Structure 1
Amino acid sequence: MHTQIGKSLFKYALVAKKTFILALIMLAIGVAADLAGPFLARTMIDDHMLAIEKPFYETTATGKSTVEFEGRHFKRADRFAEGEAKGSEVRVLQVGTSFVFVDAAVADVSGARSFKDGILTLNQKDKTVGYPAVKLSATELFAFYKPEIPGIISLIGWYFAFLAVSIVMEFGKTYWLQSSANKVIQKLRIDVYAHIQRLPVHFFDNLPAGKVVSRVTNDTEAIKELFIAVLANFFSGIINMLGVYVALFLLDVRLGLICLFVVPIIWAWVILYRKLATKYNTIIRSRLSEINAIINESIQGMSIIRIFRREKQTEEEFEKLNDDYMKNQNKMLNLNAFTSHNLVNVIRSLSFAVVLWYFGSAQLDGTSVISLGVLYAFVDVLGRLFQPITGMVNQLAALDSSMVSAGRVFSLMDEPGEDVVDGSMPRYKGNVVFKDVSFAYKKDYVLKNISFEAKQGQTVALVGHTGSGKSSIINLLFRFYDPQKGTIMIDGQPVKDLPKQWIRQHMGIVLQDPYLFTGTIASNVSLGDERISRETIEKALNDVGATQILAHLPKGLDEPVVEKGSTLSAGERQLISFARALAYDPAILILDEATSNIDTETEALIQSALEVLKRGRTTFIIAHRLSTIHNADQILVLHRGEIVERGTHDELLAQGGRYYQMYRLQHGASDNPAAGGAEPRAVTPAANPS
């Protein structure tokens, strides 16, 4: 699972591969520049500060590299040119905090040193050696250090140069990593959102909108942290560790080998940590998603919550989720607190203890072959080894959280979507045929052997009680679903042979409760389609009678629409929905009891516009008020997924069957069913979800 997620993340990282590579190159240069410091310090200590104890030889030459002492000139042994004559050997050795001058060759300077009565004594393992010596004053000692000053200044200069390079590289690395991460997340969010548009409609039946929003926002933001903080820390940590180990082995192979034990410990700990953390993070991301879902649902249904006084229960449900979220967050905090810093500190202390015990003690008794400069540089470099380890360990929580979020995002993107096909098809006539169509959402069939034909320009009404299958027929027509049995054809061509987008291009729908998007009235009619001009929008609104209804709005067509049109009346929203359908000029029009939410006066106003809207189009009407379908060319009466009656309004009344009973129920038993224009006394509930 983690491997698959890693591959997907790597694929997206390639979106900004150039800037990522640039950032990593700058990171490597910065690490190298930073690690140059201990080497410069080692050179300064061993070749300049402690090198005063190297053999000096008397010389007749003078210059910057020579030392004048008591009228004689001396030069350090390693500064003689090849073939240059050397005089007698002398040594300058440190005893405690003082330095003494020995006018003789000293074969072995190891052992404990003491100076008394002009004699330098070296207590070695198997002997004690004494040499006549003179204690040097500060001025005399400085004369021996003076030739080292240019080298020390040069090294200090190089140190600041490398420091400047390190600072510039750090800035570049941070900038390019963040820039790359932003590109990657931009691409990922676009792809996730585009995939959501391709997901079949039934996918959203089982996944609350808030959870989908959480995947697109919170989870992708967590992935962004992966590319910025986690990637930066882990890559810089790995490069730093490689650089440190190279430096350790360059300083001393034995010291480097001793410190290799750190790597398997860290690796084992990362694996163990992730096993524990993934369990908590999966719950954390899931709870955050559920919190978003309940907030979204509460806002959408705020009026119902208030009306039925469910504020307290809703708050308790939210608190329960929030408490569980906090409980698992605390578990993650405890895991991090008990492990991260503690583990690194233990390993760091253990490493220092081993190195200082093995080599430091030998250095103190003079038996070590490791110079003090090497030991100092080693301790410095070893300390730097734990800086990246600390950074990596501190990012483990973010790493695991990001990987869990990435898994959630990619699992959404792995859901099978509908292919988006470019292009379009010519506007079809709209001859629709259902032939022996059976369909089930899950196991039980909600449509059984449905067969009918709707010719161009005809109006077909679908009636029946809730759950009879009316909406299911429309869902099949739009190809939100495909039937398990039977064939649906448009103009003689099976719909399964045509891309869904092509079919829907020439379909329009007006819902009982129309959905308006944030924008303006004009943008809700055109839905942002550039092919629909301003003139077409105005004509569509005028044809459905919306112009005079919307005349009171200050900005006219440019009046803002907010939160699904909450500032507009139900009638105004429905008129905009009618105009939208008209502007798109569909070949097939679906009216889902489109006038049931409109008052009588407004309904009368648009009845004539509806006739204009239906003219030349195949129209399907999901009808609850039977008085609105008197003029339908064909009425299909559905019951438990089957067509039990079909015919015109008058034919069905004459049959005296189920349609007749429904009509009587709506109009009252005392009314004359033949009086088709009678207004119903009772209205059935809103559109069924079947």
Structure 2
Amino acid sequence: MHTSTGKSLFKYALTAKKTFILALIMLAIGVAADLAGPFIARTMIDDHVLAIEKSYFQTQTKDDYTVSYNNELYKREDRFSPGEPKGQEVRILQVGSGYVMAFGGVTAKDGDRSFQDGKLSITHGSQTDTYSAKQLSNDEIYSFYKPEFPGIVQLLGWYLGFLAIAIVMEFGKTYWLQSSANRVIQKLRLDVYAHIQRLPVNFFDNLPAGKVVSRVTNDTEAVKDLFIAVLSNFFTGIINIIGVYIALFLLDARLGLTCLFIVPILVIWVVLYRKFATRYNTIIRSRLSEINAIINESIQGMSIIRVFRRQKQTTEEFESLNDDYMKHQNKMLNLNAFTSHNLVNVLRSGTFAIILWYFGSSALGGASVVSLGVLYAFVDILGRLFQPITGMVNQLAALDSSMVSAGRVFTLMNEPGEQVTDGSMPRYKGNVEFKDVSFAYKRDYVLKNINFTAQQGQTVALVGHTGSGKSSIINLLFRFYDPQKGVITIDGTPVTDLPKQWIRQHMGIVLQDPYLFTGTIASNVSLGDERISRETVEKALRDVGAQRILSHLPGGIDEPVIEKGSTLSAGERQLISFARALAFDPAILILDEATANIDTETEALIQSALEVLKKGRTTFIIAHRLSTIRSADQILVLHRGEIVEQGTHDELLAMGGKYHQMYQLQLGSSAEIPAAPGTQHPIVLDPVPRGS
């Protein structure tokens, strides 16, 4: 998963490659400018501060580098021009807190120094060398240091210049890296949301809404952290480490080689850490999705939970998930505590100990393996090596969490989606035919050998008990699914030969429990489609009789709709849904028990509007209330996925079969008036089904 996730992330990073490259260039320049500091310090120490202990010779030439002492002019050995004559040699050496001038050639200045009675003694090993010397006053020492000041000031100027460059580059790097990351995440979120729109309907049958929301929000937010915080730290860290090692080898190859052992330790550390962290983070992200799902489900079903007093059970389910989430979070916490700062500190201390023990003791002991300036610069640079390592280690937890989240996002995006075809097709007539259609969601067929024809303008009613296959026929018609056997045609063309979006463009549906979006009543009718004018919206609402019912609302058709229309009655929501279907002028109209939740008065109001709505359209009605489909051109009676009866209302009653039984059952729940004298049967009012 990590390899494919890494490739996908790299592909998205390429969408902002120019700004990423610019950020990395600025980062490299900033690192180089920052690492110039120790080199400047080395030069200052070796060439100016400690260089005072180099040999001085008497000279007759006066320039910026000469020093006047006892009416004689002296100049440091490395300041003489080629061929310039040199006089008597002297040496300025530090003894304790003071300085002395030693006369004659000092063969070895390294060792233990002491000064007494005009004699300088230098002991190294078992040998002691003695030289004639004189104590120097502070003013005299100052006169020897004075020629070094211009060079020191110049080096300080270079240091401040490089510091300014590093500050500007750091700002530019941070800005461009984070703006690039934001652009990448913006595109990722858009792509994830667009892909969700293309996913087939059956995908959402198996994945709770809360988990999908978690992928789009929590997981993409974690991927954003990956680009902005994690990759920023890792890019900065890797380039810093490369820069530090280049600087170490430039200072002294032996010192650089000594510190190479840090790299394999760091690599092994990262590999082992991610092995455990990925296991924990996968569970953590999964539990977070499940928590989101249960919260979403609880909010949606809060009234049911309270009515049936399921608060305790729901809370226990939530607590179980939350406890498991906390348990694995604690495991991650322990892993981070054991592996973060501790190992960095051990590495830092161990490396310093090795370097100072070997090279420092050698330098101080007189072996002169490296100069003190080089050793100082090396310790300074080595300290800078552990800053990016610490930054990278601190981001390891975020890296693994982000990679797990990215894997979940790309797993969602790898789900096969429906092909989106641009353009449209002319409005078809709506002649629908099912030929030997069989369909199964999984293994067992829920539709078996379905055959029927619906002509333009006809009304076809689908009746049957729950699970008989009514909704499955509609799902096939909308091409939410395709049948395993048989062919469905519209105007003689197989639906599989037509893009799904083109077919659905001329279809409309009214559900038993209509879904309203946040916005206004008008926007819920037009669904934001620019082709549907306000006049069309108003006419559609007027035609279904909604204006009279909605007239009491303060905003009229501009009344806000919130939380799926929770402030509106079931009848008002259904009328808006009818108006929506009418405004889109579909060739095929599906009414999924559209009047079941409407009171008798409202139903009477829209029955005539329904007749207007159905004119010229092929209408499919899923009905439980059989009284609403008496005028249907044909009624299909479904039982266990098969059409067991087919005909008009009167024809089916005459058959005395399943439809007749269903009708009689519904008659049993209707009010009966005693029979008039001379009649054999009671007078039956228009039947109303139980629970309708």
SS at match of 2:74: strand
SS in 2 for 1:480: coil
Instruction: Provide the secondary structure at the position in 1 that maps to 2:85.
Output: coil
- How many angstroms apart in 2 are the aligned matches of 1:518 and 1:374? 69
Per-residue deviation, 1:350: 1.0
In the other structure, the counterpart of 2:339 is: 339
Using the alignment, how far apart are the partners of 1:537 and 1:342 within structure 2? 68
Counterpart AA for 2:123: N
- The one-letter amino acid paired with 2:582 is L
Q: Is the 8 A contact 1:627 1:678 kept in 2?
A: no
Cα distance per residue 1:422-469 (max 9 Å; x no partner): 000000000000000000011110000000000000000000001100
Q: Which residue of 1 aligns with 2:506?
A: 506
Match for residue 40 of structure 1? Answer: 40
Q: Which residue of 1 aligns with 2:686?
A: 679
Structure 2: which amino acid aligns with 1:449? N
Shift of 1:25: 1.1
For 2:171, the equivalent position in structure 1 comes to: 171
1:453 matched residue in structure 2: 453
1:594-605 matched pairs, under 5 angstroms: 594-605=594-605
Task: Report 1:461-610 matches (<5 A).
Answer: 461-610=461-610
Contact 1:5 1:403 in 2 (8 A): yes
Change (3 A) 1:123 1:487: same
CA distance in 2, matches of 1:640, 1:676: 34
1:293-349 Cα distance to aligned partner (Å, 9 max, x none): 111111111111111111222122111111111111110010000111111111111
SS in 2 for 1:133: strand
Distance 1:61 1:675 in 2: 140
Alpha-carbon deviations, 1:477-519, whole Å to 9, x = none?
0000000000000000000000000000000000010000000
Structure 1: which amino acid aligns with 2:482?
A: D
2:4, 2:369 → 1: CA distance? 51
2:521 and 2:561 in contact (8 A); partners too = yes
Q: Residue 508 of structure 2 contacts residue 581 of structure 2 at CA under 8 Å; is this kept in 1?
A: yes
1:190 aligns with 2:197: no
Tell me, in whole angstroms, the C-alpha distance in 2 between the residues paired with 1:487 and 1:117: 118
**Matched position secondary structure for 1:275:** helix
Residue 266 of structure 1 aligns with an amino acid whose one-letter code is: L
Alignment of 1:403-414 (within 5 A): 403-414=403-414
Distance 1:674 1:33, change over 3 A: farther
Query: Could you tell me how far 1:107 is from its partner in structure 2?
Result: 2.6
Give, in whole Å, the separation in 1 of the partners of 2:13 and 2:238.
Answer: 18
Alignment partner, residue 258 of structure 2: 258
Aligned residue for 2:637, secondary structure, equals strand
Give the secondary structure class of the aligned counterpart of 1:50: helix
Code of the residue aligned with 2:233 in structure 1: it is: N
Q: How does 1:304-453 map onto structure 2 within 5 Å?
A: 304-453=304-453
Q: Which amino acid aligns with 1:371?
A: S
CA distance in 2, matches of 1:149, 1:164: 22
Root mean square deviation of aligned Cα:
1.5
1:688 alignment counterpart: none
Shift of residue 102 of structure 1? 1.6
Question: Corresponding residue for 2:111?
Answer: 111
The alpha carbon displacement at 1:228 in A equals 0.9
Deviation at 1:291, TM superposition (A): 0.7
Checking the alignment, whether the CA contact within 8 Å between 2:12 and 2:184 is kept in structure 1 is yes
- Deviation of 1:683 (Å): 2.8
Contact 2:112 2:122 in 1 (8 A): yes
- Aligned-partner SS, 1:309: coil
SS at match of 2:120: strand
CA contact (8 A) 1:112 1:365 kept: no
Aligned residue for 1:81, secondary structure, equals coil
User: Which residue identity lines up with residue 595 of structure 2 in the other structure?
Assistant: T
**1:236-315 → structure 2 map (5 Å cutoff):** 236-315=236-315
Q: Kindly provide the amino acid, as one letter, of the partner of residue 60 in structure 2.
A: T
- Structure 2 matches for 1:121-140, cutoff 5 A? 121-125=121-125, 127-140=127-140
Q: Could you tell me the TM-score, scaled by structure 1's length?
A: 0.98
Contact 1:668–1:681, Cα closer than 8 Å, also in 2 = no
Unaligned 5+ residue runs, structure 1?
686-690
CA distance in 2, matches of 1:296, 1:9: 30
1:60 aligns with 2:67: no
Q: Which deviates more from structure 2 when the two are superposed, residues 254-263 or residues 56-65?
A: 56-65
* SS in structure 1 at match of 2:487: strand
Show CA shifts across 1:546-588 (max 9, x none): 1111111111111100000000011100000000000000000
| SS of aligned partner of 1:447 | strand
Q: 2 CA distance for matches of 1:158 and 1:404?
A: 46
Secondary structure of 1:425's counterpart equals coil
Query: CA–CA distance in 1 between the matches of 2:344 and 2:689?
Result: 76
Distance 1:208 1:675, change over 3 A: farther
Corresponding letter in the other structure for 1:572: E
Which residue matches 1:162? 162
Note the C-alpha offset of 1:167. Answer: 1.4
Give, in whole Å, the separation in 2 of the partners of 1:330 and 1:154.
54
One-letter identity of the residue aligned with 1:298: S
Q: What is the rounded CA distance, in whole Å, between the counterparts of 2:120 and 2:593 in structure 1?
A: 113
What percentage of aligned pairs have identical amino acids? 78
Kept in 2: contact 1:516–1:564 (CA 8 A): yes
Deviation, 1:116, is: 1.1
Letter in 2 for 1:347: L
- AA at the equivalent of 1:429: K
Q: How many equivalent pairs are there?
A: 685
CA distance in 1 between partners of 2:304 and 2:180 (Å):
46
Distance apart, 1:684 and its partner CA: 5.3
Q: CA deviation at 1:369?
A: 2.8
For 1:447 and 1:403, the matched residues in 2 are separated by 43
Shift of 1:674: 11
Give the distance between the partners of 1:592 and 1:369, measured in 2 at CA.
90
Q: Distance in 2 between matches of 1:675 and 1:105?
A: 140
In the TM superposition, what is the alpha-carbon distance from 1:156 to its structure 2 partner? Answer: 1.4
Conserved 8 A contact 2:625-2:688: no
Contact preservation (8 Å) 1:514, 1:574? yes
What SS does the corresponding residue of 1:172 show, helix, strand or coil?
Answer: helix
Provide the rounded CA distance (Å) in 2 between the counterparts of 1:124 and 1:407: 65
Q: Is the alpha carbon distance of 1:675 and 1:548 closer, same or farther for their aligned partners in structure 2, counting shifts above 3 Å?
A: farther
What are the superposed Cα offsets for residues 599-657 of structure 1, whole Å, 9 maximum, x if unpaired?
11111111111000000000000010000001000000000000000100000011111
Q: CA deviation at 1:82?
A: 2.3
Report the Cα distance in structure 1 between the residues aligned to 2:30 and 2:320, rounded to whole angstroms.
Answer: 49
User: Is the CA contact (8 Å cut-off) linking 1:112 and 1:366 kept in structure 2?
Assistant: no
Per-residue deviation, 1:89: 1.5
1:242 partner letter: I
Once the two structures are superposed, residues 354-411 of structure 1 have per-residue CA deviations (whole angstroms, 9 ceiling, x without a partner) of 1111111111211123100001111111111111111111100000000000000000
In 2, the alpha carbon distance for the partners of 1:254 and 1:393 equals 27
Question: Is structure 2 residue 50 aligned with structure 1 residue 50?
Answer: yes
Shift of 1:675: 11
Deviation by residue 1:219-244 (Cα, 9 ceiling, x = unmatched): 00001111111111111111111111
Moved over 6 A (4+): 669-677
Aligned to 1:228, what secondary structure does the other structure show? Answer: helix
Q: Does the 8 Å contact 1:112/1:123 carry over to 2? A: yes
Match of 2:340, SS state, is helix
Report whether the alignment pairs 1:30 with 2:30. yes
- Secondary structure at 1:123 match in 2: strand
1:221 counterpart residue number:
221
Give the secondary structure class of the aligned counterpart of 1:434. Answer: strand
Q: Per the alignment, in what secondary structure is the counterpart of residue 689 of structure 2?
A: coil
State whether residues 469 and 641 of structure 2, in contact with CA within 8 Å, keep that contact through their aligned partners in structure 1: yes
- Which AA in structure 2 matches 1:53? E
**Aligned equivalents of 2:683 and 2:295: distance in 1?**
47
